[in-house]
Structure 1
Amino acid sequence: MQPQVSPVPFAARLPFFFGWVIIVVAFLTVAVSVTARTAFSLMFPPIVDEFGWDRGLAAGAFSFGFLVSAVISPVVGRVMDKRGPRFVIEVGVVLTAAGLLGATMMHAPWQLYATLGVLVGAGANCMSFSVQSQYLPNWFVRRRALAIGLAFSGVGVGAILILPWLQTIILKDGWRSACWALGLMTLFVLLPINLIVTKRPQDLGLLPDGAKEPGVAAARRAAAIVDPHWTAIEWTVARAIRTHRFWWLCIGFFCGGYAWYAVQVHQTKYLVEIGFSPMQAAWSLGLVAMVGIPGQILLGALSDRIGREIVWSIAAMGFAICYAALLALAAGPSEPLLYVMVLSQGVLGYSFTSLMGAVVAEIFEGPHFGSIFSLLMVSLLAGGAAGPWVTGVLYDVQGTYATGFAVALGFSVLGAVSIWFAAPGKVRMVAGRAKG
């Protein structure tokens, strides 16, 4: 007779199981929240057509919401430290839903700024990259970047599935119906599932990485420490900003935001101007988000094995290659160069999102991590605001994108250099390099 094998009790499987539940919740939250913000580009044409507002005036609502997100980011970080992610995310759900539903009743430009600009922009900021990066690193240590990459791949999935669905609603029933559909989805999907979110697994009597023995988890964390003096410090914002590592991270985050948004805003217009069809230009933008999904996951997992510095540099070089390809395309349309631009930007560049929270957590882990990370996010958002604007100004002055793209390429290289000076690997080793 075969010996009977006792089934593993559910409670014994709970740590591992619940960690995956947290990833799924984060995946869905990021997919809907980021899509809610980017859906502005779909609402923009019919709103301008209906009200006859200037394009600059209407588009300014998105930029204004982006600016508000940067301003409130430090406040969000402090609230995260005090109240935890559940409170912040649920506030974001309510704000986003209110903005989408309220937009259906607008009649004046200030109402566009208040709803699709401020409420949706600030609400999405309370649910997406910044907030998710502040608590997911607490749940995963050994596979930290892989977990974050899986969660953030929801952005690409949302772009692939939700945006076409919204466009169908707009074409059939109008932009107000699309706002209603997305607003109700945000409210009724994200509000209940985020009730289970907690800041740390210890809050539920669990341990990071699904570990079952506190001693094993502690041993793993101890084995990863390279600089015990640094990790023994309780890092506050005041202490962090007095370190060179903080400012190198600021430079890295600024450069990442600059490179990311400069190409995202200007590439479609540029590709059409140099001879590609509008359909090819639109297709390439969508493909970037699609190929970004495996890039985020695979390169995030790779950084858990070989180190954050190397993969951060790979991501930065992805944008550098992207801009080099764009500059080369000035000679004329070339499909191979177009593929190089798309793949380097998506597969390599988008892996930044898997690394942001992991890098900061390994340097400034502690009770004030949320406040420190949010301050760094201001730098990223500042880069995201500066990149498109500076690139556009340089084009207006010179009548060409050559200098603007060259400047962005330079920022990409600087971003790669900055991570080596921040040196998270000299504070804590990743699991692939740690013993135990």
Structure 2
Amino acid sequence: LAGGLAAPLIGRLFDHSGPRMVYTLGLALLGGAFLAAAFAQQLWQFQLTLGLCAGFGIACIGNVPNSIMLGRWFGPKLPAAMSVVYSAAGAGVLILLPLSQVLIDRVGWRGAYQIFGGTALILLLPLVLLPWKLFASGSATLARSAATDLIDEGWTLVSAMRHHAFWALFSTFFFTAVGMFALSAQIVAYLVDAGFPPLQAATAWGFSGVVLLFGMLGVTWLDGVIGRRRSVLFSYAMSIIGIGLLWLLKSYPNVWLLTAFVVTFGSMIGSRGPLITATAMKIFRGERVGTIYGTITIGSGLGSAFGSWAGGLIHDMTGSYDALLLFALISVILGMIPFLVVPALRQ
């Protein structure tokens, strides 16, 4: 939630101060938050450090600044570049999760936070020394091409918010995040309830980080083959099929259905991100694109927070997962609808 709400501020800061300031601030906040969390004693201290500060820090090194800077270098190939960057997050999870467990076993969770926080602060030195002016300048060839082919239409945040595409993209981010996060937080418990051993359930869902790499790259490849709209709709169809398979697992728990679910649903988590980002960057191109795109991504932050909370609430109120699955399914379909009906997203 903190990262989502901070996104427009990050976009504005990037527009005015450049990437060096944004990435340095983000890494400093992460390092400081982890170190402070190691000494936290009360709940509000964890909320302040790991919730607010870490959330803001992640936003500073996250999708908003990454997409703006990559857009200056890759232009039409932005979806492919973004998919590689997005995929790195999945690879990082595969590495850091077992490393975190090893550190917790050896030095405790407080010691693990100290190590991660100290490492982040040490990395500030090489980060500051990077050639940020070169990174921020972008490709000269792309800049000349953009000057010839693309016109800065003078978008401001106010004018963008009056355009139907702004709210279409906002709603896509919001409802998709609601559906995906409502399920993601409950999947391991659901699989255990369906009859799978806890270790098998956790391991199977953990492999979503592996298939995510292929799903994201695959959807981006489809963008160049069948077009952006069809690629996005394909990814939504896969997510919907995955939800259906998850529902079947309750009645027919077996490894084959479980594998099919992980491949269909797990591979599509975040797979639409690079394509939707590229769409927003294309529609609202100009000097204020960072602020505009950052504001649009508030939808993702709000959706992920609301989805996680709503998923748990629905299960607690109904005592089963059927209503939760229906809620997630409807949310994902609502996230898909703008690409079916909104003119700017149908092109």
TM-score by length of 1: 0.74
- Cα distance change, pair 246–173 in 1 and its aligned pair in 2 (3 A): same
Are the counterparts in 2 of residues 85 and 197 from structure 1 also a CA contact under 8 Å?
no
| 1:142 counterpart SS class | helix
Alpha-carbon distance in structure 1 between the residues aligned to 2:61 and 2:152: 31
The 3-state SS of whatever aligns with 2:39 is coil
Structure-2 change in CA distance of 1:203 and 1:138 (3 Å): closer
Over aligned residues, Cα RMSD in angstroms? 2.3
Q: 1:147-187 deviations in whole A, cap 9, x for unaligned?
A: 11111111111111122112101111111221122112222
8 Å contact from structure 2 (residues 38, 110) kept in 1? yes
> 1:60 matched to which residue of 2?
none
Structure whose alpha-carbon radius of gyration is higher:
1
Q: Which residue number in structure 2 is paired with residue 293 of structure 1?
A: 213
Report what 1:406 is aligned to. Answer: 326
- Superposition deviation, residue 109 in structure 1: 2.2
1:201 shift after superposition:
5.8
Deviation at 1:356, TM superposition (A): 3.2
Quickly say closer, same or farther: Cα 1:183–1:152, change in 2 above 3 A.
same
1:192 alignment partner, one of 122, 126, 136: 126
How does 1:62-77 map onto structure 2 within 5 Å?
Answer: 67-77=1-11
Partner of residue 335, structure 1: 255
Q: Is the 8 A contact 2:24 2:127 kept in 1?
A: no
User: Which moves more between the two structures, 138-147 or 179-188?
Assistant: 179-188
CA deviation map 1:62-115 (0-9, x unaligned): xxxxx3223322222211211122211110100000011112222222222222
SS of the equivalent of 2:270 reads helix
The one-letter amino acid of 2:61's match is M
Matches within 5 A, 1:35-434: 67-189=1-123, 192-193=126-127, 195-196=129-130, 198=132, 203=137, 206-208=140-142, 214=144, 217-218=145-146, 222=149, 233-423=153-343
Give the whole-Å Cα distance in 2 for the aligned partners of 1:417 and 1:108: 43
Q: 1:305 to 1:191 in 2, by over 3 A?
A: farther
1:199 Cα deviation from its structure 2 partner: 8.2
Contact 2:73–2:139, Cα closer than 8 Å, also in 1: no
Change (3 A) 1:182 1:201: closer
Percent sequence identity over aligned pairs? 29
Question: What is the alpha-carbon distance in structure 1 between the residues aligned to residue 85 and residue 265 of structure 2?
Answer: 19
CA distance in 1 between counterparts of 2:340 and 2:94 reads 35
> C-alpha displacement at 1:248, in angstroms?
1.0
Unaligned runs of at least 5 residues, structure 2 = none
Residues 135, 199 of structure 1: 8 Å contact kept: no
Contact 2:30 2:54 in 1 (8 A): yes
